[in-house]
Amino acid sequence: MNILFVKQISILSLILGAILGIITLIPYIGLLSFLICIFAAGSLVIYYMQKIELLGEFDTKAWTIYGAISGFVCFIGFCILFVPLAALIGFFAKTSFYLGISIMFRLGFFLTIVMSFFIALIAGIMNGFGAMTTSYVLELLKNNNNLK
């Protein structure tokens, strides 16, 4: 595992997580943005890095590890922006969806951090699986193009 790739993946994942955290505040687009953060962020980052030729050959094991790291970091970046902003909205609009986040924030800062960390672990696992699947599909497409 190359440390330079991990740093690049982490930076891109933090940026993507911050963007998704802001987009999730929009009421009707928020669920789609949240699901992308949980399930597909790792695949998107790894595929983007493959397209701009920062990664070498298709290696399913490496893509799985990079996808898991990307998913974890992306969700941490998501929580850094989304949770405080949603808590602020929940403080001002008591009948909104964000009231639950503000209640969680009021229960304790440590509890919020622990819950975010464990959900980030789950997001990392899901993104690792998604990156593995993406790697497998791209490898199949590459092999099919070589056969023709």
Query: Is the model's pLDDT at 100 over the cut of 90?
Result: no
Dig out the tokens for 33 from the structure: 């943005």
| Whole-number pLDDT of residue 126 | 96
More confident residue, 82 or 93: 82
Arithmetic mean of pLDDT, 58-74 = 90
> Which of 41-55, 100-114, 118-132 is predicted least confidently?
100-114
The string of pLDDT tens digits covering residues 24-57 is 998 889 899 999 999 999 999 988 988 888 777 7
Dig out the tokens for 21 from the structure: 């955290």
Q: What is the mean pLDDT of the chain?
A: 87
| Whole-number pLDDT of residue 95 | 66
Query: Is the model's pLDDT at 96 over the cut of 90?
Result: no
Q: Provide the 8-state DSSP code for 27.
A: T
Of 24, 25, 42, the residue nearest 33 (C-alpha): 24
| Whole-number pLDDT of residue 94 | 72
- 55 with 146: CB under 8 angstroms? no
| Whole-number pLDDT of residue 89 | 84
The 3-state DSSP class for residue 93 equals: coil
What is the model's pTM?
0.88
Query: Is the model's pLDDT at 141 over the cut of 80?
Result: yes
